Amino acid sequence: MKVLLWKDTKKNIGILLEKGSLRYAVDFYTTGQELTEGYVTADGKNFVLKVKIGGISKYSASKDLVSKKKSDLKGIITIESAIDINPKPVSDFKIAGRAPKEIKEHVLAEVLQIEGEHLKNLVLNIPEPVKAIMDMASKMGFSLTLSVAQKIHSMRDQINDAQLKQLLQRIKEDIAVKGIDPYEAVGIIAAQSIGEPGTQMTMRTFHFAGVREMNVTLGLPRLIEIVDARRIPSTPSMTIHLRKGMEKDQSVVTKVIKELENTTLLDVAEIVTDVEAQTLTVEPVAERMKDRLVNFEDILSGLDTVKQVTLKADPAKQIVVVKPQQESFKKLYQVQEQLKILTIKGVPGIKRAIARADKETGEYILYTQGSNLKDVLQIEDIDPYRTYTNDIIEIANVLGIEAARDAVFMEAERTLQEQGLEVDKRHLMLVADMMSFTGSVRAVGRQGISGRKSSVLARAAFEITTKHLLRAGLLGEVDMLSGVAENIIVGQPITLGTGSVNLVYRGLQKN
């Protein structure tokens, strides 16, 4: 869907929001009668206003107009309504097939949306026979998940109606047996369930064969990273799948790797400093360039972005002489340091990318050292539905808290399974829920869940006892003794299991 994007002042955005419906004179004109929607930004990077467009025409003076500025007006946008929205980043739009970094004036763009057919298949397209099984379970007094209903449907030709009803009855009884009793200590049981196998975990690292610098942290250190909700994991990495029909195409794989790897000038060239001549000579190393799939033109285009320098390229010798416009030792040193970290090509944060072919399917899967989910999802040839990163905080920022909750569960389960340890999925789900139910990913330690309990005594029993008690005394906090730790501290029965019931004997009343 095509939309109109333009940059405006905060004052004008306020006027548009206040008036809602108006004819707005702007300093541009675009032939876009089919346009029905527009977004307005003040900083060029985040859109804060969404407008419904009734039409666009050439400028002609009129009393009912509201003007963007005083002069050089070229078009009139008929705005039917304007609403304030949560900041929508410029990367949510595509211009000429690519996500822009900034909007400086006005532009026509495509809104990035989930493909309608894919969404339909995910949510709405439940076959009628499967839906009938789910409805039948609902009438019997319990809910049946879609995956179980699909499994039963796959065996439908082997069982008759009476057997189906009997099977559903057995599932209902099984759910009742495996249900949790009221006031069950689920937290403690989950902690024991994960903590006991955790003592058997080793500290190990998975190493990609043939690539010295690529490895992934596994075992106990990885489990600690997950529950600590580390902002940056020790070995961030991504697993990238290509779009359908391209998974076995080696030329596409090479092209995507070339787009992914963040290559600096120092990775592919030597920088020779001539203090007397006040110049820096960039000498590309053919072997490094071949390894990084970089050519001489890529180096030239990267050097063109450096400001306040003069370039003199010699394609025959494959060298580039860089001379600062201001001649001084300080400036020469500054430009030298700038060139060392100059990005020639690739996605920021992705240091290395390799491809491995699946032995069974022959499909290429890409693995990266470093992670940048937001920018990688913009690459045209990758499959956004199967691309994954082990950076949980990044998943939360890009895809939302529900995706982060699933990532916590999947990463914890995978880490334990790699060590051959079995932990009930429900216990890991409970940890994932506790870490994410507030809307942001919280650590389990004193900076997150344990440090923000409502009970003063529970917080003090965990860590930094004096600080918690002193603060509670100064603020006059009251502890209702509703949890486990605080009741144990004061010597009372905990409010779980049999301790959750209070019996009062009133005695016999005398007549």
Is CATH 1.20.58 what the domain over 2-113 is classified as, yes or no?
no
Q: Which letter, b or e, does each residue of 219-255 get, where b requires 16 or more Cβ atoms within 10 Å of its Cβ?
A: bbbbbbbbbebeeebebbbbebbbeeebbeeeebbeb
Nearest to 16 by CA among 79, 90, 105, 88: 79
Per-residue pLDDT reduced to its tens digit, 383-434: 988 999 999 999 998 898 999 999 999 999 999 988 888 899 999 999 999 9
Lowest mean pLDDT, pick from 91-100, 280-289, 390-399, 468-477: 91-100
Contact 404, 441 (CB under 8 A): yes
Instruction: Tell me the fold of 453-500.
Output: DNA polymerase; domain 1 (1.10.150)
Residue 107: its pLDDT value, please? 84
Q: How confident is the model at residue 116 (pLDDT cuts 50, 70, 90)?
A: very low
Size of the chain, expressed as the number of residues it contains = 511
| 302-344 residue pLDDT tens | 888 788 888 888 877 888 888 888 888 888 888 888 888 888 8
- Tokens (6 digits) for 133: 């099984």
Mean pLDDT across 465-487: 87
Second CATH level (architecture) for the domain 263-345: 2-Layer Sandwich (3.30)
Q: DSSP readout, 386-440?
A: T-EES-HHHHHHHH-HHHHHHHHHHHHHHHHHHTT----HHHHHHHHHHHHTTSS
Distance, CA of 93 to CA of 89 (rounded, Å): 8
Q: Which H or E run contains 203?
A: strand 203-207
Single-letter amino acid code for the residue at 82:
A
Within 13 Å and on the Cβ side, how many CA atoms surround 149? 18
Quote the pTM value. 0.66
| Percentage with pLDDT > 90 across the chain | 16
- Give residues with Cβ within 8 angstroms of 116, minimum separation 6: none
